[in-house]
Amino acid sequence: MNKTIDEEPRQYTVTVFTEDKVGMLNRITIVFTRRHLNIDSLTTSESEIKGIFRYTIVTKCTHSLIKKVVDQIEKLTEVLRACYYEEDDVIAQEIALYKISTRNLTKRDKSMEDIIREYNARILDIEDGFIVIEKTGFKRETQKLFEQLKPYGILQFARSGRVAVTKPIEELTDYLEALAQAARTSNKIRNWKLTNVD
Amino acid sequence: MGKILGSQAVVKSLLEEGLDTVFGYPGGAVIPLYDSLFDYINEGKIRHVLARHEQAAAHEAQAYAQITGKVGVCIVTSGPGATNAITGIANANMDSVPMVVITGQVGSTFLGTDAFQETDVFGLSMPIAKWSCQITRPGDIADSFAKAFYIAVSGRPGVVVIEITKDALTHETEFHYKKAPVLRSYAPYPEIDQENIAAAAEMINNAKRPLALIGHGVLIARAEKAVREMLEKAGIPFGMTLMGLTALPSDHPLCIGMLGMHGSYASNKLTNEADLIIAIGMRFSDRVTGRLSGYAKKAKVLHIEIDKSEIDKNVETDLAVHADLKTALSYLTPMLEKKSNKQWRAEFDKFYKMEYEQVIRHDTQPGEGIIQPGEPVDIISRKTKGEAIVVTDVGQNQMVAARYYKFKTPNTFLTSGGLGTMGFGLPAAVGAAVAQSQKPVILFTGDGGFQMNEQELGTIIQEHLPVKIVILNNSVLGMVRQWQTMFNGGRHSATNLINPDFVTLAAAYGIKARKVADRAGLDPAIDEMLDLDGPYLLDIEVDKDMKVMPFIAPGSTVDEVKLC
Ligand SMILES: Cc1ncc(C[n+]2csc(CCOP(=O)(O)OP(=O)(O)O)c2C)c(N)n1
């Protein structure tokens, strides 16, 4: 009666906020590893609040599984908050760098200049023998540019993990206030338990 | 206050936490710590129990914690000391027992260089501990320890592993200790939501066939009395998980036995007839639920649980109360209607009778043939009036002890539930005997599991512990053999044991022992064991073909439970 039928795997963005401690990344990824889940991309940086780190993790799985994974991450001490978002709920970008050989630069019908303009990319560096192009956007956009540049000979390609902000408006500062309140309540209950032993 | 050594700061942290007993085993990386312990041990301010293996030290600390309600402390050296302790760490954490394991580590400048006896314990312990930390500076000791003890014991308890580098022990530091620090990332006791409690009360009040599942959480939260009041008021029949077994007396009129794979026939048969399952401090382990797709089919599920990540993990709930049990019940019970559910409770009796006729009678009083492992358990249960501390190893001995010892008092049963660690029994019995001396400590163990940590006989004599060891000796790895008999066409692959003479072994340690192979000898031998003021080993030859029944075969649903 209470069993839900498992749905199709979908892409989820998980954001995790943690204290600045050695080993946090390891502890978070262990939760994925234990469930045999692949991490498609991962980025981490200090958040808007000093001393609190933000992890953005993209993974593909069912809804019931992502809920359990996020609960198990949030359970980790020193994790302040873990949430998952559907694709519609995040604004996300990735940055891609393409190192292109200059050897074939002029031999193509479409000029490199046109491509760069069309894709809203830019030239980051020009050196003897190669140029480096940068493009920020959705994965499908950086991927499409990749296909376009292929004929020129891509010497190197690197794409960042996803950087994302989320639409639902509960900001971290508000949440920290709620956490502080929860810690105070927890202490009250703890004291009650310590004095009420039967 | 002047400066003290890091190693002294560790000892002072223990004393700040009110701890006077530690279990451990020294080695290079913790020699400084043992040096600081030396005077305290000599002055009788700290008792150090020297195990004979770090795994055993960890199990001992766990058992000590379970019996005393304090945090168990275990000290081991770096490298092999720490890796030996890993099983004990995983075991205690799986069963939510508060423990702090202090492991040595090479000097901080050697970290990551494969130095002698360097193992990444911090990394190794992450997936099997509640929290791990690495201390490289003596100034961090006080704060880390205060945090460690708080995390270990609060909320859903668990194991904290503290790895401490040798130089952190040998350098000086100031020492200021503040217990139970407030951590913004950690609120172990959730706020009570009144509407949520009211909804739970309504669910219970509306139920016609409620069944409560009592787990280890009840013992951990010290909510035995609160749970009892609740169940008695609303007349709710209950079953107990292996880990929750002593929360209420085995002979309570509402008790319908143990849950799960080898639980009572009645509890398993009727789980799928209940219209409401009230899970109290338990986590729907697969050993309890059987095949999930056929579990509690007609029931709504109400889950009262302190660990949020357990809610909806295995069984989807209709309503969850995320709270400390004792706190939640203090609001919930007053809202419940008085009921007796007599008819519903009576339905269980029929199944009990069937189980008694087909299993229990033969298991405990066969009257003839080779001794059954249930017989000594039954006799000892009666002779100790259900008031002993019972410890088991893993396997048939464990299930038989759980099924046939009739418990009267909460927290008098120690067993390895989540991890199912053979070798747990003897060290756990040691820890229980260190923890208290009012109740006799009785270990039921298989001959296989006993040999996994039999070196702890040494700890028993060194610490003068009156542990009563009952080996249910079938000369086979009984539980595995049972599966081979049932599912592998009787191909008993690698389950026969050629054993030593356990009586002679005990004699080598100066422990009194006796071997019994006939029924007539059983009773006097048990009397001799219980009357002796000191350790005793009773080696009982039991039936190797006994099968623990009832049984939910792997992949079956609870109501497919079999009696034979
Ligand atoms: C460390 C460990 N190794 C292996 C097992 C698998 N196992 C479970 S029960 C069992 C047999 C135990 O035999 P014994 O200790 O003689 O007890 P009996 O079942 O005969 O009572 C084994 C091998 C285990 N649980 N733990």
The whole-number pLDDT of residue A109 equals 67
E-strand stretches of B15-137? 21-24, 47-50, 72-76, 99-105, 131-135
Instruction: Establish if A172 touches chain B: CB-CB under 8 angstroms.
Output: no
Interface residue A194 vs chain B (CB under 8 A): no
Considering only CB atoms, which chain A residues are within 8 Å of B131?
A: 77-78
- So what's the pLDDT on residue A108? 65
As a whole number of angstroms, the distance between CA B24 and CA B102 comes to 9
Is A2 close to B187, i.e. CB distance below 8 A?
A: no
| Per-residue pLDDT band at A198 (split at 50, 70, 90) | confident
Nearest CA to ligand 1 atom 8: B395
Catalytic, B54? Answer yes
What tokens appear for B472 in the block?
Answer: 């249910």
Q: Using the beta-carbon criterion (under 8 Å), do B189 and A190 form an inter-chain contact?
A: yes
- Give A139-143's long-range contacts (Cβ < 8 A, gap of 24+): A139/A94, A142/A94, A142/A95, A142/A96
Which residue from B329, B379, B335, B88 is spatially nearest to B228, judged by alpha carbons?
B329
Give dist(CA A30, CA A39) in Å, integer.
11
Category of A120 on φ-ψ map: left (φ > 0), alpha (ψ -120 to 50) or beta: left
CA-based nearest residue in chain B for residue A18: B185
Which pTM value belongs to this model?
Answer: 0.96
Q: Which of B99, B243, B399, B479 is catalytic?
A: B479
Say which of B184, B188, B293 has its CB closest to residue A3: B293
A residues 19..58 contacting B (CB < 8 A): 19, 22-23, 26-27, 30, 34
pLDDT in tens, A27-73: 999 999 999 999 999 999 999 999 999 999 999 999 999 999 999 99
Number of the ligand 1 atom closest to the C-alpha atom of B422: 26
How near does any CA of chain B get to the CA of A162, in Å? 25
Nearest CA distance, A31 vs chain B (angstrom): 8
Q: What is the ipTM of this complex?
A: 0.91
Note the pLDDT tens digit of each residue in A122-181.
Answer: 999 999 999 999 999 999 999 999 999 999 999 999 999 999 999 887 788 889 999 999
Residue B151's SS3 state is helix
CA–CA dist B210, B500 (Å, integer): 51
Dump pLDDT digits (tens) for B95-138.
999 999 999 999 999 999 999 999 999 999 999 999 999 999 99
Ligand 1: which residues within 6 Å by Cβ?
B 393-397, 420-423, 446-449, 472, 474, 476-480
Going from the Cα of B478 to the center of ligand 1, the distance in angstroms, rounded, reads 7
Beta bridge partners of A79: A18
In order of A118, B16, B63, B274, B395, the CA distances from B301 in angstroms are: 57, 43, 32, 10, 31
Name the residue among B184, B190, B316 with its Cβ closest to that of A3.
B316
For the cut 70, the answer to whether the pLDDT of residue A1 exceeds it is no
Burial class (CB in 10 A: 0-12, 13-18, 19+), A50: exposed
> What is the mean pLDDT of the segment spanning A4-29?
90
What is the DSSP secondary-structure string of B253-272? TTEEEE-STTS-HHHHHHHT
**Percentage of residues in chain B with pLDDT exceeding 90?**
99
Known active-site residue B117: yes
Question: Which candidate in B130, B179, B309, B326 is best for mutational testing of the A interface (most A CBs within 10 A)?
Answer: B309
- Residue B352 pLDDT: 98
Q: Which of B275, B353, B357, B247 is nearest to B258 (CA)?
A: B247
pLDDT in tens, B458-483: 999 999 999 999 999 999 999 999 99
> Residue B506's CB: how many other CB atoms inside 10 A?
23
Helix, strand and coil content of chain B, in percent to the nearest 5, comes to 45, 20, 40
H-helix or E-strand spanning residue B123: helix B121-125
Indicate whether A5 pLDDT > 80.
no
Strands B238-240 and B210-214: parallel
HEC string of B155-206 equals CCCCEEEEEEEHHHHHCEECCCCCCCCCECCECCCCCCCHHHHHHHHHHHHH
Three-state secondary structure call for residue B302: strand
| Inter-chain residue contact A4 with B316, CB threshold 8 Å | yes
**pLDDT score for B1:** 67
Q: Determine the 3-state secondary structure of B317 from DSSP.
A: coil
Are residues A1 and B127, on separate chains, in Cβ contact within 8 Å? Answer: no
Residue B290 per-residue DSSP state:
B
Tell me the C-alpha distance between B224 and A110, whole Å.
78
No. of helices (H) and no. of strands (E), chain B: 23, 20
Residue A107's pLDDT is what?
A: 67
Strands in A79-85's sheet, in edge-to-edge order, are A39-46, A52-61, A10-19, A79-85
Report the C-alpha gap between A24 and A19 in whole angstroms. Answer: 8
List phi, psi (to 5°) of A97.
Answer: -120, 135
pLDDT of residue A4: 47
Nearest CA in chain B to A30: B127
> Angle at the Cα of B293 (from B289 to B297), degrees rounded to 5?
80
Q: Please check whether residue A183 is in contact with residue B184, taking contact to mean a CB–CB distance below 8 angstroms.
A: yes
pLDDT score at B327: 97
Cα radius of gyration (chain B): 24
- Is residue A182 within 8 angstroms of chain B, CB to CB? yes
Q: Is A182 close to B296, i.e. CB distance below 8 A?
A: no
Contact criterion met (CB < 8 Å) for A197 and B222: yes
Does B130 reach chain A within 8 Å, measured CB to CB?
yes
Is A82 within 8 Å of chain B by CB?
no
Residue of A nearest to B306 (CA): A75
Q: Is the pLDDT confidence value at A3 over 70?
A: no
CA distances from B91 to A13, B159, B393, B416, B428 (A): 33, 9, 13, 7, 11
564 residues of chain B, pLDDT tens digit each: 689 999 999 999 999 999 999 999 999 999 999 999 999 999 999 999 999 999 999 999 999 999 999 999 999 999 999 999 999 999 999 999 999 999 999 999 999 999 999 999 999 999 999 999 999 999 999 999 999 999 999 999 999 999 999 999 999 999 999 999 999 999 999 999 999 999 999 999 999 999 999 999 999 999 999 999 999 999 999 999 999 999 999 999 999 999 999 999 999 999 999 999 999 999 999 999 999 999 999 999 999 999 999 999 999 999 999 999 999 999 999 999 999 999 999 999 999 999 999 999 999 999 999 999 999 999 999 999 999 999 999 999 999 999 999 999 999 999 999 999 999 999 999 999 999 999 999 999 999 999 999 999 999 999 999 999 999 999 999 999 999 999 999 999 999 999 999 999 999 999 999 999 999 999 999 999 999 999 999 999 999 999 999 999 999 999 999 999
Q: Decide if B309 and A74 are in contact by the 8 Å CB cutoff.
A: yes
Instruction: Dig out the tokens for B422 from the structure.
Output: 């053979």
Give pLDDT tens digits for A96-114: 999 999 888 776 667 888 9
Rounded Cα gap, residues B338 and A93, in angstroms: 59
CA distance A168 to chain B (A): 21
CB contact under 8 A, A79 and B126: no
- Give the nearest chain A residue to B313 (CA atoms): A68
Substitution target in B178, B189, B219, B557 with the highest count of A β-carbons within 10 Å is B189
- Residue A106: per-residue pLDDT: 75
Q: Answer for the pair B168, B141: CB distance below 8 angstroms, yes or no.
A: yes
Q: Which amino acid is at A171?
A: E
